[in-house]
Amino acid sequence: MDYTQITSAHEQQMLQAIGVAHVDELFGAISPEFRFRQTLDLPPARSELDLQRDLAEMAAHNHGAHDMVCFMGGGAYDHFCPALIDQLINRGEFLTAYTPYQAEASQGSLQAFFEFQTQVARLAGLEVANASLYEGATAVVEAVLMALRVSGKRRVLAASTLHPDYLAVLETYLSDLPAELCRLEATEGRITVEVLRGHLDDDTAAVVIQSPNVWGLIEDSQRLFSAAHDRPGTCAIAVFNPIACALLKKPGECGADIAAAEGQPLGVPLSLGGPYIGLLAAKKRFIRSMPGRLVGRTTDTEGRPTYCLTLQTREQHIRGARATSNICTNQGLLALRVTMFLSALGKSGLAEMARQCYHKAHYLAGQIAALDGYAMTFDGPFFFEFCITCPRPVTEVIETAKRRRLLAGVAPGGRRMGSIGGPNDLLIAVTEQRTRAEMDALVEVLEELSG
C-alpha cells in the first residue's frame, strides 16, 4: 500500500519544469552551515495499514478529560456541550468558510456575528461587544490597550490574582510601549480596596481585576471599581467568567467600563489548549477605540433587515498605521460555536449550569475540608473553583488520583500556573458535568492520602 503520492519520476519532472537539476538547489539561499546534512534517523518504511495500527496504539496511551473524570481548571474547563453544536458546526458552509473580505456578501455570517456580539454584551452587562478576539489573554491585553488610548495615561494596575498567563502576555505587550505595569498584591487570595488606593494616582489608565480570580475566589469588584473611578479617566477592566455571569453580578453591574474573558466555557472543547476565543465588551463611549470588527444591523432600500461591518479597525483593512490592533481574524467559527451554545441553552439553561457548578463545588469543598490534614487555602467566597492545601506534596496527590482515572486538579505551584502556589496546594474545578459519585471518589482518594 504505497501512500507516498510523489514518485521519483514525478520529482524529476517537476525539477525539469522549473529548470533545477536537484532539490538541494532550491535551498541555495540558505548558508550551508545551517543545512542538515545527516540522514534522518527514521525507522524502515511501513505500509499505511501498519502505520495506522502503530499510531492507534500510541494514541491509546493518551488520556485526558475525554476518558477520565476531570477536576482540572486554571483557565480551561470541562463543561457540557450539546451534541447539536458539533452536528451544525461541521457543515461545510461553516467549517470551510474563511473571514469574508467582501463581508456584506455573506449576510448569514454577519448575522451570526451580530448575534454573538449581542449575547456577549448581555453576558457582560455592557452596551457593545466586538466580533471576537483570539483568546482570553489577548482579550485582556486589548482591553488594556483600549484604556491606554482613551485615557491618555500610562500606568496599568493589574491584580496579582489575574491568571499568570494573562499577566505574562500583558507584560510582554506593554514592555515595548510607553506604559508601566504595576501588580496589586493580594491579601488572603483577594485584592483589597486599601491596596488599590495605595497604588492609584492621576496617571493610572486602568485597573484590571479578575473575578472569579485565579484562585476561584470572587473579588469585591464593585468596591474596587468604585475606588478606581475616584480618579477621573481611570478605566475599570473586569476579567470575567461567562458562566458565572448567569449567577453572579455582571461586570457592567459592578461598574466595569470594559470587560474581557476567555470564551472556552461556552461550547468550545478543551482541545489540548486551543484554539479558543476571546470576548470583549465595553461601554458605548469606547466603541471607536475597540479592536477588530463590529457588525451592525440596518435595513435595505426595501425595508428588509440587513447586516454590515459597521466598524473595521484592524490592520488588514484600510486603517493601516492607525489600526487599533494587529488582529487579523475574528475567530468566526468559534464565535459561531459560542452563539449556538448560548442559543441552545438559553438564559434559563445557562443559569442552571451556573447553579450546578456552584452547588457541586461547594459540596466537594465541604467534604474535603472535613478530612484530616486538608484545609481550604483561602476563606473567601468562590464560584466553582477553589484551592485546598494537602497534607502531602500535590504531585503525589495528582499521580495517585490519575491511577484511579481521576484528574484531581491543577498544581498552582507548578510551571503551568507560574509557580504561584505552594508545593501542597491543589486547585480544583467542579463543573456541572461532575456527579456526586465522581466527587465522592475524589474524596476517597484524598482521605487515603491523609494518613
Per-residue pLDDT tens digits for 177-223 = 999 999 999 999 999 999 999 999 999 999 999 999 999 999 999 99
Please name the residue that has the C-alpha cell 485546598. 388
What single-letter amino acid sits at 135? E
| CA gap 396, 50 in Å, rounded | 38
Residue 411, all three cell numbers: 498544581
Pairing mode, if any, of strands 258-262 and 235-240? parallel
Closest among 126, 90, 118 to 337, alpha carbons compared: 90
Chain centroid to CA 388: how far?
A: 24
Mean pLDDT of 242-256: 98
> Would you state the pLDDT for residue 109?
85
CATH superfamily membership of 69-79+347-448: Aspartate Aminotransferase, domain 1 (3.90.1150.10)
Q: Specify whether the CB–CB gap between 242 and 260 falls below 8 A.
A: no
Range scoring the smallest mean pLDDT among 40-54, 102-116, 392-406, 435-449 = 102-116
Residue 55 dihedral angles phi and psi, to the nearest 5°: -65, -35
pLDDT-derived band at 303, boundaries 50, 70, 90:
very high
> Would you state the pLDDT for residue 293?
82
Closest among 329, 330, 308, 316 to 104, alpha carbons compared: 308
Range scoring the smallest mean pLDDT among 129-133, 143-147, 164-168, 310-314 = 310-314
Residue 436, all three cell numbers: 456526586
Residue 382 dihedral angles phi and psi, to the nearest 5°: -135, 165
Is the per-residue pLDDT at 99 higher than 70? no
Domain boundaries, the chain: 69-79+347-448, 83-342
Residue 222 burial (10 A CB sphere; 0-12, 13-18, 19+):
middle
What single-letter amino acid sits at 390? C
| CA gap 241, 217 in Å, rounded | 12
Q: 27-79: per-residue pLDDT in tens?
A: 989 998 898 888 889 888 888 899 999 999 999 999 989 999 999 999 999 99
For helices 164-174 and 136-151, angle between their N-to-C axes, nearest 10 degrees: 40
Within a 10 A sphere around the Cβ of 432, how many other Cβ atoms? 18
Mean pLDDT of 128-144: 93
> Would you state the pLDDT for residue 318?
58
Q: Specify whether the CB–CB gap between 247 and 354 falls below 8 A.
A: yes
Q: Specify whether the CB–CB gap between 242 and 219 falls below 8 A.
A: no
> Would you state the pLDDT for residue 316?
53
> Would you state the pLDDT for residue 1?
43
| CA gap 181, 155 in Å, rounded | 6
Beta strands of 92-226 (E only): which ranges?
A: 128-129, 155-159, 180-184, 204-211
The larger pLDDT score, comparing residue 255 to residue 272, is at 255
What single-letter amino acid sits at 364? L
Chain centroid to CA 368: how far?
A: 28
Name the average pLDDT for the chain: 92
Mean pLDDT of 101-125: 88
Q: Name the CATH topology of 83-342.
A: Aspartate Aminotransferase; domain 2 (3.40.640)
> Would you state the pLDDT for residue 230?
97
Mean pLDDT of 285-300: 89
Q: 400-427: per-residue pLDDT in tens?
A: 999 999 999 999 998 888 899 999 999 9
What is the percent of the chain where pLDDT is above 90? 76
Which 3 state secondary structure label does DSSP give 323?
coil
**Would you say the pTM of this structure is higher than 0.85?**
yes
